[in-house]
Amino acid sequence: MEVNVLNLSGKETGAKVQLPESVFGVEPNDHAIYLDVKQYLANQRQGTHKAKQRNEIAGSTRKLHKQKGTGGARAGSIKSPLFNGGGRVFGPQPRDYSFKLNKKLKQVARKSALSYKAKDNNILVLDEVNFDAAKTKNYVSLINALNCAGEKTLLVLPTENKNVYLSSRNLKKTKVIVAAELNTYDVLNATKLLLTADSVKTLEEAFAK
């Protein structure tokens, strides 16, 4: 698949970049995408939720009333889950939600997500993205020039660029990452995928390993 290369003004430079079929033209595997996104979201969870059980509640263990003859149900202590302020039955406990996925499956998922973007013509290739200073208005001008205002965008750079990252940090619906950190969730979550000519080469080399 051949794509025209754009400059920071959103105009074609005359150059073209070939998106490798081995990365951007594979048959998408929806189940692999599901598993990879599920793992990504699970890894974001802190797992620090906690509710006290009856053995952790502060309170007296005195028997509230005699076992029989009251006409009501028997009751052991005020810490019973049946009473207001008592312990919770089977409440949440701290746990780790992360789970393992094979590297090859994650690779298939990422290539599937990229192929979906290429199939829907939602990939824009830029010549080079670099700002002289970290100013939000520079990134806003770039988004407007690409006609992506109001849309979720994901800019993938070949290497870390502090000025570009800081320029985009305060904007909603924008995210800047390096090619090595590309993941399935971010690709699918973005409406437009912005690549540079060098990041395309980086991705092709990464998936060729």
DSSP 142-178: HHHHTT-TTS-EEEEESS--HHHHHHHTT-TTEEEEE
Q: Residue 5: which of 141, 202, 194 has the closest Cα?
A: 194
Sign of CA dihedral 113, 116, 117, 118: positive
Return the minimum-mean-pLDDT range out of 10-19, 127-136, 140-149, 189-198.
Answer: 10-19
Average pLDDT over residues 66-78: 92
Dump pLDDT digits (tens) for 17-42.
889 899 999 999 999 999 999 999 99
Q: What is the pLDDT of residue 2?
A: 82
Dump pLDDT digits (tens) for 143-179.
999 998 889 999 999 989 999 999 999 999 999 999 9
As a whole-number percent, the residues of the chain with pLDDT over 90 amount to 70
Q: Residue 151: which of 182, 120, 183 has the closest Cα?
A: 120
Average pLDDT over residues 44-68: 93
* CATH for 2-45+98-208 (3.40.50.2000, 3.40.190.10, 3.40.1370.10, 3.90.180.10): 3.40.1370.10
Give the start-to-end residue ranges of the domains of the chain. 2-45+98-208, 47-96
- If you average pLDDT over every residue of the chain, what do you get? 92
Q: What is the pLDDT of residue 78?
A: 93
Say whether pLDDT at 48 is over 80: yes
Tell me which residue has tokens 């079929």. Answer: 21
Say whether pLDDT at 209 is over 70: no
Say whether pLDDT at 1 is over 80: no
Tell me which residue has tokens 């991705």. Answer: 203
Q: Residue 56: which of 19, 21, 93 has the closest Cα?
A: 93
Q: What is the pTM assigned to this prediction?
A: 0.83
By DSSP bridging, strand 12-18 and strand 2-6 are: antiparallel
Q: What is the pLDDT of residue 37?
A: 97
Q: What is the pLDDT of residue 141?
A: 92
Dump pLDDT digits (tens) for 90-134.
999 999 999 999 999 999 999 999 999 999 999 999 988 888 899
Higher pLDDT, 109 or 8: 109
Q: What is the pLDDT of residue 33?
A: 97
